[in-house]
């Protein structure tokens, strides 16, 4: 008699299983084991600057950034000061310039932060 590999695995891991009417096999997790969903367990407390930058992409302040976005942000904050000409130019570029060629994704902006500041400073809306 040939045993289904899923049933074999369930038996090896000492898990209960059930064959459903459609023939599928449902393997049950023990009650004391919670499934790993890959969610961040840290509390999301964005800075005012993070909230503003996220708003340029229509993100809510409560939307948790991905691990890559948080890592890129940490790299930016090591050297970038959120005041002065660079910050003002970038804010204007994303909020008011009307440029058709701005980044469409937060992660892409964060990964190209310096270049975006240069583009923002060089952009001339009269040459659209």
Q: Are 79 and 31 found together in one domain?
A: no
Residues 6+ apart with CB under 8 A from 9: 27
Domain count, the chain: 2
Token pair, residue 44, equals: 């999301």
Q: Are 112 and 55 found together in one domain?
A: yes
Q: How many residues does the chain have?
A: 128
Q: Residue 17 domain-assigned? A: yes
Is the pLDDT confidence value at 14 over 70? no
pLDDT in tens, 25-47: 766 666 545 445 445 546 888 99
- Tell me the whole-structure pTM to 2 decimals: 0.64
Q: Residue 98 domain-assigned? A: yes
Range 69-93 average pLDDT: 91
How far is residue 22's CA from residue 20's CA, in Å, rounded to a whole number?
Answer: 5
DSSP code per residue over 15-60: --EEE-TTS-EEEPPPTT-PPP-----S-----HHHHHHHHTTT--
Residue pair 120/109 in contact by the 8 Å Cβ criterion: no
Residue pair 21/7 in contact by the 8 Å Cβ criterion: no
Q: Distance of alpha carbon 70 from its chain centroid, rounded?
A: 8
Question: What is the CB-side half-sphere exposure of residue 41 using CA atoms within 13 A?
Answer: 3
Q: Are 120 and 94 found together in one domain?
A: yes
Q: Kindly indicate the confidence band of residue 91, based on its pLDDT and cuts at 50, 70 and 90.
A: very high
Q: Residue 40 domain-assigned? A: no
Q: Residue 19 domain-assigned? A: yes
Q: Residue 89 domain-assigned? A: yes
Instruction: Give the domain range for residue 103.
Output: 48-127
Q: Are 53 and 116 found together in one domain?
A: yes
């Amino acid at each position: 008699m040939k045993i289904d590999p899923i049933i074999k695995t369930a038996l090896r891991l000492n898990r209960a299983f059930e064959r459903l009417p459609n023939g599928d096999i449902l393997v049950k997790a023990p009650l004391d084991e919670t499934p790993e969903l890959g969610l961040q367990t840290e509390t999301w407390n964005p800075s005012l600057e993070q909230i503003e930058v996220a708003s340029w992409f229509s993100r809510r302040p409560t939307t948790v950034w991905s691990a890559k976005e948080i890592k890129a942000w940490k790299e930016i904050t090591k050297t970038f000061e959120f005041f002065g000409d660079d910050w003002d130019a970038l804010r204007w570029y994303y909020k008011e310039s009307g440029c058709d060629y701005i980044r469409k994704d937060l992660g892409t902006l964060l990964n190209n932060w310096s270049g975006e500041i240069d583009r923002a400073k060089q952009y001339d809306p009269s040459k659209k």
